[in-house]
């Protein structure tokens, strides 16, 4: 997929979703553009749901360069795009839309790369995983686990049909997978599990074990001012070093988005990318 480089002058970007007020993407993205000297680029939040998405996209003029997408838009946007990158096609999930100078809408998935980078940074190398959730982010997580060489995944969710779909996707990517029959009740965690990966929203109800299992890491994509119940349990148990957080994912997938928005190249590092990454981390608290 070839993307024309952005023209001179200011460019507009935004993160879309519903709800969206909690998103820290504006702080991350603006910190990156300021570090890169793009002081006239703007990035905002817009609360948009599936019904409003077509009209929102149709309203964008040539000043717009791109969009970040969160729940519930990662699947809904696909029929509205002109082209998808390989990972977006593979996962059926788009979290990044680049608007090229020819007016095309190009869909990308930077969540997969963000997860792989976050796990590498934290030094977490799972072999047997319990995946909570069956949506677009869960499929991106599975794609990342396939890249990371995860041997086995148990999938938990509220709908047996959706769990079955995710199991089939995992097996299609060469990852051994099965349904976790207790669903979202973690009180009977199998002993071979070394990572719990939650793609659930913060408000989701999960049956927690009486004690955090020793040696089990946590990947929790949800983030907010206060930690969700899973992250809180691991922190209370003194296991913070075993957490790959939603902010870890957010900053790494956002860095990949900045590559796309500024140069249209997912694989080409930014100028002084380490400084850009430091600026992004500092913008959300230097976690």
**Is 152 annotated in the active site?**
no
Computed on alpha carbons and rounded to an integer, the radius of gyration of the chain in Å comes to 19
100: left (phi over 0), alpha (psi -120 to 50) or beta: beta
Catalytic residue, chosen from 11, 74, 90, 117, is 74
Question: Which residue matches tokens 């049956």?
Answer: 207
Residues taking part in catalysis = 74
């Amino acid at each position: 997929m070839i993307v024309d480089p952005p023209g001179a002058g200011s460019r507009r970007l935004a993160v879309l979703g519903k709800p969206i007020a909690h998103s820290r993407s504006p702080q991350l993205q603006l910190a990156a553009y300021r570090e890169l000297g793009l002081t006239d680029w703007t990035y905002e939040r817009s609360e948009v749901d599936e019904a409003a998405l077509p009209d929102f996209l149709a309203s964008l003029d040539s000043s717009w360069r791109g969009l970040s997408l969160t729940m519930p838009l990662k699947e809904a946007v696909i029929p509205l795009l002109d082209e998808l990158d390989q990972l977006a096609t593979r996962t059926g999930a788009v979290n990044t839309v680049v608007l090229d100078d020819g007016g095309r809408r190009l869909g990308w998935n930077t969540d997969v790369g963000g997860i792989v980078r976050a796990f590498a940074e934290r030094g977490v190398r799972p072999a047997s995983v319990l995946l909570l959730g069956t949506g677009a982010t869960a499929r991106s997580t599975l794609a990342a686990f396939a890249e990371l060489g995860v041997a086995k995944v148990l999938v938990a969710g509220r709908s047996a049909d959706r769990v079955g779909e995710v199991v089939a996707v995992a097996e299609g990517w060469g990852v051994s997978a099965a349904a976790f029959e207790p669903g979202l009740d973690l009180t009977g965690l199998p002993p071979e599990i070394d990572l719990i990966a939650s793609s659930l929203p913060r408000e989701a109800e999960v049956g927690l074990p009486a004690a955090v299992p020793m040696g089990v890491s946590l990947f929790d994509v949800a983030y907010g001012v206060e930690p969700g119940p899973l992250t809180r349990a691991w922190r209370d148990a003194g296991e913070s070093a075993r957490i790959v957080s939603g902010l870890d994912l957010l900053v790494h997938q956002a860095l990949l988005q900045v590559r796309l928005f500024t140069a249209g190249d997912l694989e080409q590092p930014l100028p002084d990318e380490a400084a850009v990454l430091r600026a992004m981390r500092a913008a959300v608290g230097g976690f």
